A and B are shown apart, each in its own frame.
Chain A
Amino acid sequence: MDNVSLFLQTLVGGIGIGSLYALVALGYSMIYRSMGLVNFAHGSIYMIGTYLGIIWYRGMVMGLQVPYGVAFVIGILLTAGLGLILERIFRPLANMDLMLMLLGTIGLGYVLDNLAVIVWGAEGFAVKSPLPETPIMIGGVALLPQMLLLISVSAVLMIGLNVFLAKAKIGKAMRAAAQDRETASAMGIPVNRTNALTFAIGAGLAAAAGILAAPIVYVNPAMGSAVGLKGFAAFILGGAGSIPGAIAGGLTFGVLEAISAGFISSAYTKGIAFVIMIVVLMFRPGGIVGEVTVDKV
């Protein structure tokens, strides 16, 4: 493999994993916008969301087996539903301190992680891709169909979300409620409901990410922590609460990781990525794109 195709290969891998981080970071951002909550349990939601979708694809629910696309949708909807419940539980926390929210979500993480082990076992399993597993070779670069699916569906979701928030009536209502609760409420927007919807979308995005990534990685109850932490880093790197920020942060983080793993040192990858992130934050404390003001009262 010559150096150019190697570099392109790495880049593609980085964009792939970066899309995953971006979706997770988007989830963080949405939840942050809904109630100013930094959700430390988001990685666990990602994991649960993956299970909630994949179990249908694998025929693990009473033997019923559905096609991947259907499982994808079911997983997202179920996880969004979970998001609605969680928003209701955490609503009183929106009025309290960052540390308490942190603690509350840590507790939630414990609950979700261990429930997953109790229900589905600690071991985990590999998932077959619905698409052919042989890579498509373009100019010396191997493109895995599932990876292409991940990238393209992520892109669709990201663009769709942006459009939704900018143009759709509910979307605009969500933005208003996030920015200024009292005024939005005064204008007749049902703030609690829109916040709940925002939270639900955040959770759903995590599920989407996990279900798309499952055939590439491996599904087990511990799969959330690494992705959760990196997604969090991307969320902060891009600028907390910013939608384009989450996307930029996620892709940047993914590409950084891939390049440092491939060309510098695979062992120190995590460290390098974090160091770069810290340096960026020191010069731009609000993140790459900049934080979005969120009214959390």
Chain B
Amino acid sequence: MKRSLVSILLLLGMLLAACAPAAAPTAAPQAAASTEPIKIAIIGAMSGTNAVLGDWMKKGVTLAVEEKNKAGGICGRPIEIVIYDDEADPTKSVNLAQKVATEDKVVAAWATTNSTSALADIPIFAQYKIVQLTNGTNVDITNKGSAYIFRANPAGPAYETPLVDFLVDTKGYKKFALVTDTSAYGKGEADYQTAALKAHGLEPLTRQSYGIDDKDFTGQLTAILQTNPEVILFGGSEVASGLIAKQARQLGFKGQLAGGSAIATPKFNENAGADNSEGVFATAPYLTNDLNDQTRAFAARYKARWNEDPEVHGANTYDGTQLLMMAMEKACPNITGEAIAAEFHKISGYQGLQGTFNVQPKGETIDKTQLGVWKGGKLTPYTQ
């Protein structure tokens, strides 16, 4: 008995030692005009199948912040970023949200790369009055009644409705099969696709689903091919969608493939292989870096910094960060989550990489996408 107690005490002692006030900055509100850095966090999937999303988010946000810091920061204060990996796991994400709110004491956070985790984090950021940005597409994100959530890209239906409209009205397709993953993103996409089809009086022939880490889709594809569809619609990660496209073609499917934002990325093309991505339709607010001077300049700066070309996620996180920083400047010198959120809601008419931004009361900022098609391994805007 004594032995156990001693061991337990030793542990508790260790605990206390660990709790000794760490080198974290004090709780003094950052309203004091100083040169203290403004802290923001990035919580996202930095490992696992969705790791590429975390990587893109990191690059887009960091580029925007570095440019701003070089130009003098926000009223003389530099922005500092802390980065955490939530592995696309909502329960880890919730823990990390708690951490950045109470330990790191950030004023704003990108959280997260995935809709499921973003949804889970919303109550926490709302409770601690921290601005939350995300590029997840599930509509529920802005329906939770939080005044602190902002979406840096269009919501899911903005991708799926124009896509389905095009496929049905212009191309005349009637037989659709859906294959999406079981995350909030995938499920959302399936729902929006089904709703869009319904508006045309159509129903999907089948709705297949897979886990976010699955790599073999023979089962789902077999079930799909049984129904003889004309179109297969995707809703899942870049990696999975690419693999499904590849496996579908390898199983002999000759019909049309199409999908929303994940399909509009180079990762999709890499996994599908240029032969299999040929002719695939995709909708996204940012199709290529070649759209206009602004995007070309951005792409050049991104490439110089990260040694790779940007794509839609790097672009939308860059856009979102610009919006955030604009709000911060307006809130100067009172840089608190509350003030920033209030200023954020007032933003309108901002010309970003994805188009024009008008922040809505619920946190939406932009709602237009473009239709593109993959040709020769490159995504190009679709012209009739």
Contact = CB atoms under 8 A, between A and B. Distances in A.
Q: Does A pair with B? A: yes
Given A262-B218, A262-B223, A133 B252 contact: no
B49 A133 contact: no
B218 A261 contact: yes
A126 B220 contact: no
Contacts of B213: 222, 226
Nearest to A16: B218
Interface string B233-277: 000000100110010001110000000000000000011010100
A267 B181 CA distance: 10
B346 to A, nearest CB: 38
Contacts of A133: 246, 250, 273, 275
A6 B271 contact: no
A128 B273 contact: yes
B64 interface: no
B210 interface: yes
Interface in A246-297: 257-258, 260-263, 266-267, 269
Contacts of B275: 133
A1 B271 contact: no
Nearest to B53: A123
A261 B209 contact: no
A216 B46 CA distance: 24
Interface in A127-159: 128, 133-135, 137, 142, 144
Nearest to A3: B226
B219 interface: yes
Contacts of A222: 47-49, 213
A68 interface: no
Contacts of A263: 222-223
A225 B273 CA distance: 25
Given A218-B215, A258-B218, A122 B46 contact: yes
A257 B210 CA distance: 13
A9 B222 contact: yes
B30 interface: no
A142 B250 contact: yes
Contacts of B55: 123
Q: Which of B209, B210, B216, B225 has the largest number of chain A CB atoms within 10 A?
A: B216
A6 B222 contact: yes
A168 interface: no
A266 B220 contact: yes
B208 interface: yes
A124 interface: yes
B43 to A, nearest CB: 15
B124 interface: no
Contacts of A163: none
Interface in A67-100: none
A198 interface: no
A72 to B, nearest CB: 20
B51 interface: yes
Top 8 A-B pairs, shortest CB-CB distance: A261-B219, A262-B222, A13-B218, A217-B215, A122-B47, A122-B51, A142-B252, A126-B271
Interface of B: 46-49, 51-52, 55, 182, 208-210, 213-216, 218-220, 222-223, 225-226, 228, 239, 242-243, 246, 250-252, 270-271, 273, 275
26 contacts: A6-B222, A6-B226, A9-B251, A10-B222, A13-B219, A14-B218, A122-B47, A122-B48, A123-B52, A124-B49, A126-B243, A126-B273, A128-B273, A133-B250, A133-B273, A142-B251, A144-B250, A218-B239, A222-B47, A222-B48, A222-B49, A226-B215, A258-B218, A258-B222, A261-B220, A262-B219
